[in-house]
Structure 1
Amino acid sequence: MTLSASEQQSADLDAVNADLQRIAQHQTAGRLAEAGAMLDNLLIRYPGHPRLLHLKGLNLAQTGKVADGLALLDAVIADSPDPVVLVDAGTLRAQSGDLPRALDSFQQAVEIAPNYALAHANLGAAQLLNQQFRAAIPHLQKALELDNRVLDVHLNLAQALIRVGNFDPAIDTLYKALAIDPKSAAAHSHLAAALFRRERHDSAEHHARRAIELAPDAAEPKLHLGNVLAAAGRMDEAVQLLLEIAGKPPTGATALSRLVHLRKTTEDSPELAILRQYQARLADLVPEYRSTLQFALGKAEDDLGNHAAAMEHYHKANAESRALHPYDIDAFRTRATRLEQLVTPDLITRCGGAGISDIAPIFIVGMPRSGTTLMDQMFSRHPDVQAGGELAASPRALRRNARIRAALEQEISPDDLTADDFARLGEDYIAGLHAEGLRAGYVSDKMPANYLYVGLLAMALPRARFLIMRRHPLDCLLSNYMQNFGQNQPFSTRFSDLAQVYRSFDRLARHWSALLPDRVREVPYEAVVAEPEARMREIIAFAGLDWSDAVLDHTRSSHQVNTASMAQVRQPIYGSAVARWRRYGPLLHDLAAELRDVLSDDELAACGVAPAA
């Protein structure tokens, strides 16, 4: 019987498909030589066939001949840029450490096939590895839109969201990941991190402990559990857990840094010995961990009284951090000036009184490291106050109000704003509080950067009171410089930027106090430390509350603390942080020179700076 041409072609196709299926079986079983031999035979019959060259390239890569395999894939791509081949080539390059070319391959695949889920997933994963967190998010979201069954895509999206501070969507994503695999240690661990940042400490502790059950040798969930325990004031437990993983890089570098910042370092501290071991191989670490450890070394040397050595480490730490997180000081100053100019007596007269009076928020604002956490902890002890901590309610409310943003960006005139715009702002702020479970008549909000928005928030929330914390500029700015804020406060990495931000803060604090004298109170940190009862009686009365002795015993607060001050606020009020800058004296010459006109002649001289003319 003779087959027709079409029947013969069909038979040949069936035979090739059977061979391809057998090749796949060989590869799955690790029989790569057998798979390669079959591919070579097929290529004799079908020379230059792109599908066979693609498979041959992958097979070569699996046998360790990655360069030869990539050469075949590149030949296929040059002839016809198939998105599947581009993704495979990108994956091989990423696995070989060639991330830039991997990103190019994935980007080409996405452009050719916009609905190819794997291309978006791999592009997002590569961008995540390259620390392009914001760029990764839309590609990972698109991958899940096309195929939401892949656990790793959920995990990658959650990590990107966490790195840019979008904790709520990260939490939602991770709960979806757990629906796919309830026993994913990584999902539980990332969820613990995100929940901790949202100050949902009980849930964070649960997921950290579950991750440890599922992966007892993993360091990351132990780091997150240590953070939760420290925030709750369970310092001994936190220290024990962090010590357990401190010597295990890379997570151990972060754990060690947290440990160094939780307690005073002494010559016989076990963490100091581990820190010295890391110091000997800093050059082998990526910049983020070098910065983290340089900050820890600075803190340790400061504890030991070696101030010159400490400052040298802080300079190196901030240089590394600045390279990772650049800061646009001009953009900040422009925004601060526009906020000052937007809220005028005329605007207050025209639009004031129409906000939301359901609650009386107590905004505790100021420069970071100015005493906002201490003040919030004291308020948290008052029986009528629900302490919110560092809330994101105000920036979120501002993002939701396009007309106020447009006026701020000078896209519309302030005259175009109405009382309803500020009522909406107040409604959105309160909705943010309710989303956090904050429903008391008095709620404290200690987001320091709210000092920028005092005027807007005062119009949106007529019963709000604003406490602007002030601390000696050298103490405050030195404390910022010594703190590893990462991307959260990038202005803290350079003396000149710190000075410029302080000037803007100082101008706004004076402006709001003069514009809203019945609503705004400037609070010197040093005065609270020196006379806590006298000062707190004034402040409590200013907030419209009855006096409670409990506010003086903030160490018994059940409110958990996530900020850089978590160890200090568990201690009684102390004065050792006052005039701390004098220990560094001339080492602060460049910072003092930037602040020449706000420091006394004595203070300038202590820093080796000639007095202002």
Structure 2
Amino acid sequence: MTKDDQQTLHQIKQAIGQSQFDQALSLVAKASGQQPGEEMQGELLYMQAVIHRLTRQPQAALDDLTKLIELRPDYGRAYQEMGYCYQALGHNNDAASAFYKATRFNTALVPAWKQLLNTYQAQGNADALALARQHLSFLEGLPAPVLGAYDLMYEGQLHKAEAVCRQFLQQHRHDPEAMMLLAEIGMRLKVYHDAEFLLESCVELYPDNERAAVAYQSLLAKLGKFPQAAAFARKRRDNQPDNTSVQMALANALVGVGELQEAIDIYRSLLASSADRPAAWLSLGHAYKAKGELDNAIDAYKKSAQYMPDFGDAYWSLANTKTYTFSAEDIATMSDIQKRSSTSLDDRVHLCFALGKAYEDKKRYRDAFKHYERGNHLKRQTLQFSIERTEAAMQAQKQACTAELFKNKEAGCPSPDPIFIVGLPRAGSTLLEQILASHSQVDGTMELHDILGIASRLSGHKTPYPYNLSELSDENCRKLGELYIQQTRDYRQGAPFFIDKMPNNFIHVGLIKRILPNAKIIDARRDPMACCFSGFKQLFGEGQEFSYTLSDIGRYYRAYESLMDHWHNVLPGEILTVQHEDVLDDLEGQVQRILDFCNLDFEHQCLKFYETQRVIKTPSSEQVRQPLYRSGMTQWKNFEIHLMPLIDALNGREKPLKE
């Protein structure tokens, strides 16, 4: 948002505060006519709705708010305004629903919580009343600046929230609530290293603070630090052996490190004591799927949906097996739930993607695309993603990482152990990993977060990353490389080499080669249309924020190709590009080529990769447990009529960032 936009909003708020509603509406109309950006457009709709409500035009306000929620479906204050409008119209049930949604998207909205208290009292809902009172008491006990920072964070004003929080901590050092809030803001800003330091410090300072422990546990899982997460969960379980959430945290961490049977035993124990635990059934399904026990996974996902019929993730998890086929009755059930106003945004997103897969299997491609598009749109509206910023980040890598940077081959940790498989998601990287992991000298692991964590750590320096790569001494590079080797040791099973299959590491090839000069890097490449459309119809558990519009994913693919060309130019012979279609056409030839690049002897078992038993947690887990198939090569052609934004972006007809 520009300074002019901010000034205009200040003038509108000032006019509303002085009850000069005609002037305020005039300012809104003038700003709306100047083709405002999406963020400004949302703010103007919100202001207009407030004016209409205050001038006793609740229906006009609701019309504004409906448009706003289509633009920003997770805008808590919009739902709070809706609640007031429905109250004015005498629609008390709708008002209660709106206030409830407001508190789901912005838990710091004290007025909405107070309205819910009145509703629960009138309904005689003792359990909901007790929970609402508890949360309201917590909010009202927060220092005013911290509460204000929470509100700013939930409304997407992250940098303002950070500034307020830091200012408060300067005066109240080590305040636990402010530390936890600043860590959460850091996570949303992707400054993970700072967030981890804050929560680790908070847990050490306040070992009995359960909220801090939960936040730290969650962050370790989010960062893929599953060994640390498991150790921390075991410590918590020793102190709270009967705490269900701690048991779940431990089991989830165990899945992360591949200790599947122990995790399954914990899930089963929890479900034996109480079967009505949809989240536990879902997690049990994920563990079975990672283990390769697909029938058990499907049964667990169905149980999850049985105990919570509107649990969108349960239906999406069934679809995400890539092999499950929904019945006509399943489709009708999901469609009905997806249309209900009471269905949460997150559940609706999951259901849209599941319905897309269901209709695609039925060859109803128009219906399938409609749901894929709707799911992507809803998901995209909850993200603060900018393709321009992402293109700029990749351009910065090209500017910072010249051939000169890699001339000193003595810098870094000399370990040859890692084999990095990089590229875009859905490009065939899991297949390459399974082929290599079938070799006796190679351990398969998972999508490790460690390079991303080191990049985040370097981002906090005075010279910004990646430009500070040239400032790292040989000793710095060696220590960072050794840190990576040490952090990843828990994921290995003892083979001389191991695979790190984090796709996004293609952005950090310069960092990898600075700290691990002898690491092998394989670029998994797939036909652009097949790769991009496969990404568009995939609901990712975390990250991959570029994948939720066709134009964004097309521009991202082009930026990726350009950056990979750069890496080949400055690191000649250091990266092997493997085209997915070539693997399908000539498996043995491509396997030999890959093994030669990795200095590994040929082993016939690599051709029978589908027989290798190992933990696989990516969406392609079931596909790589069977011989090669070609059905994915041309699936996008069934949707070609809908894919012009992608085709235009791939062909450069949408203006890219200037180099």
TM range (shorter): 0.7 to 0.9
Q: 1:38 maps to what in 2?
A: none
Q: 1:295 aligns with which of 353, 378, 388?
A: 353
1:477 aligned counterpart, secondary structure = helix
2:578 aligned counterpart, secondary structure = strand
How many angstroms apart in 2 are the aligned matches of 1:161 and 1:413?
26
- What displacement does 1:344 show? 1.8
Residue 249 and residue 65 in structure 1: after superposition, are their counterparts in 2 closer, same or farther (change >3 A)?
A: closer
Q: What is the one-letter code of the residue matched to 1:107?
A: V
How many angstroms apart in 2 are the aligned matches of 1:454 and 1:404?
19
How many angstroms apart in 1 are the aligned matches of 2:209 and 2:442?
44
Q: Please say if 1:442 is aligned against 2:497.
A: yes
How many angstroms apart in 2 are the aligned matches of 1:65 and 1:539?
61
What are the equivalent positions in structure 2 for 1:425-504 lying under 5 Å apart? Answer: 425-437=480-492, 439-504=494-559
Kept in 2, the 8 Å contact 1:225–1:238? The answer is yes
Q: Please say if 1:344 is aligned against 2:383.
A: no
Q: 2:305 maps to what in 1?
A: 246
1:368 aligned counterpart, secondary structure = coil
What does the per-residue CA deviation read over 1:475-512, in whole Å, with 9 as the maximum and x for residues that have no partner?
11101110111541111111222122111110122222
- What displacement does 1:441 show? 2.2
1:584 aligned counterpart, secondary structure = helix
Give the structure-2-normalised TM-score. Answer: 0.68
Over aligned residues, Cα RMSD in angstroms? 4.0
Residue 438 and residue 228 in structure 1: after superposition, are their counterparts in 2 closer, same or farther (change >3 A)?
A: same
Q: 1:363 maps to what in 2?
A: 420
What are the equivalent positions in structure 2 for 1:243-392 lying under 5 Å apart? Answer: 243-249=302-308, 252-264=311-323, 266=325, 268=327, 271-272=330-331, 274-281=333-340, 283-349=341-407, 351-392=408-449
How many angstroms apart in 2 are the aligned matches of 1:460 and 1:106?
42
How many angstroms apart in 1 are the aligned matches of 2:502 and 2:612?
19
How many angstroms apart in 2 are the aligned matches of 1:251 and 1:555?
35
- What displacement does 1:396 show? 2.8
Q: 1:549 maps to what in 2?
A: 604
Kept in 2, the 8 Å contact 1:154–1:176? The answer is no
- What displacement does 1:191 show? 2.4
How many angstroms apart in 1 are the aligned matches of 2:383 and 2:271?
32
What does the per-residue CA deviation read over 1:364-407, in whole Å, with 9 as the maximum and x for residues that have no partner?
11011100011001111001111122112322333455798936
Kept in 1, the 8 Å contact 2:311–2:347? The answer is no
Q: 2:82 maps to what in 1?
A: none
Q: 2:244 maps to what in 1?
A: 185
What does the per-residue CA deviation read over 1:293-330, in whole Å, with 9 as the maximum and x for residues that have no partner?
11111111111111111111111111111122221222
How many angstroms apart in 2 are the aligned matches of 1:488 and 1:287?
18
Residue 307 and residue 437 in structure 1: after superposition, are their counterparts in 2 closer, same or farther (change >3 A)?
A: same
Q: 2:592 maps to what in 1?
A: 537
Moved more, 208-217 or 103-112: 103-112
What does the per-residue CA deviation read over 1:431-460, in whole Å, with 9 as the maximum and x for residues that have no partner?
122243455322111111111122332243
Kept in 1, the 8 Å contact 2:357–2:368? The answer is yes
- What displacement does 1:120 show? 3.2
- What displacement does 1:107 show? 3.3
Structure ID, larger Rg: 1
Q: Please say if 1:195 is aligned against 2:234.
A: no
Residue 521 and residue 409 in structure 1: after superposition, are their counterparts in 2 closer, same or farther (change >3 A)?
A: closer
What does the per-residue CA deviation read over 1:586-612, in whole Å, with 9 as the maximum and x for residues that have no partner?
11011111112599xxxxxxxxxxxxx
Residue 576 and residue 521 in structure 1: after superposition, are their counterparts in 2 closer, same or farther (change >3 A)?
A: same
Residue 93 and residue 569 in structure 1: after superposition, are their counterparts in 2 closer, same or farther (change >3 A)?
A: same
Count of residues paired in the alignment: 510
How many angstroms apart in 2 are the aligned matches of 1:341 and 1:140?
34
1:523 aligned counterpart, secondary structure = strand
2:443 aligned counterpart, secondary structure = strand
Q: What is the one-letter code of the residue matched to 1:192?
A: A
Q: Please say if 1:228 is aligned against 2:287.
A: yes
What are the equivalent positions in structure 2 for 1:553-564 lying under 5 Å apart? Answer: 553-564=608-619
- What displacement does 1:207 show? 2.7
How many angstroms apart in 2 are the aligned matches of 1:253 and 1:174?
27
Moved more, 272-281 or 256-265: 272-281
What does the per-residue CA deviation read over 1:456-481, in whole Å, with 9 as the maximum and x for residues that have no partner?
32243233221111111111110111
- What displacement does 1:102 show? 8.1
- What displacement does 1:292 show? 0.9
2:633 aligned counterpart, secondary structure = coil
Q: Please say if 1:519 is aligned against 2:574.
A: yes
- What displacement does 1:230 show? 0.6
1:247 aligned counterpart, secondary structure = helix
How many angstroms apart in 2 are the aligned matches of 1:187 and 1:523?
43
Q: 1:148 aligns with which of 207, 216, 222?
A: 207
- What displacement does 1:517 show? 2.8
How many angstroms apart in 2 are the aligned matches of 1:426 and 1:598?
41
Structure 1 residue runs of 5 or longer lacking an equivalent are 1-63, 71-88, 600-613
Kept in 1, the 8 Å contact 2:444–2:492? The answer is no
Q: 1:217 maps to what in 2?
A: 276
Q: 1:406 maps to what in 2?
A: 463
Residue 95 and residue 465 in structure 1: after superposition, are their counterparts in 2 closer, same or farther (change >3 A)?
A: closer
Give the structure-1-normalised TM-score. Answer: 0.73
How many angstroms apart in 2 are the aligned matches of 1:183 and 1:352?
54
Residue 115 and residue 359 in structure 1: after superposition, are their counterparts in 2 closer, same or farther (change >3 A)?
A: closer
What does the per-residue CA deviation read over 1:137-186, in whole Å, with 9 as the maximum and x for residues that have no partner?
89977875565346566345534654576655544443333122212222
Residue 570 and residue 216 in structure 1: after superposition, are their counterparts in 2 closer, same or farther (change >3 A)?
A: same
Structure 2 residue runs of 5 or longer lacking an equivalent are 1-114, 122-128, 149-164, 655-659
Residue 572 and residue 403 in structure 1: after superposition, are their counterparts in 2 closer, same or farther (change >3 A)?
A: same
Q: 1:591 aligns with which of 631, 646, 650?
A: 646
Kept in 2, the 8 Å contact 1:393–1:433? The answer is yes
How many angstroms apart in 2 are the aligned matches of 1:583 and 1:67?
52
Q: What is the one-letter code of the residue matched to 2:313?
A: T
Residue 425 and residue 311 in structure 1: after superposition, are their counterparts in 2 closer, same or farther (change >3 A)?
A: same
How many angstroms apart in 1 are the aligned matches of 2:300 and 2:550?
35
Kept in 1, the 8 Å contact 2:397–2:466? The answer is no
Q: What is the one-letter code of the residue matched to 1:520?
A: I
Residue 115 and residue 448 in structure 1: after superposition, are their counterparts in 2 closer, same or farther (change >3 A)?
A: closer
How many angstroms apart in 1 are the aligned matches of 2:197 and 2:567?
39
Kept in 2, the 8 Å contact 1:266–1:303? The answer is yes
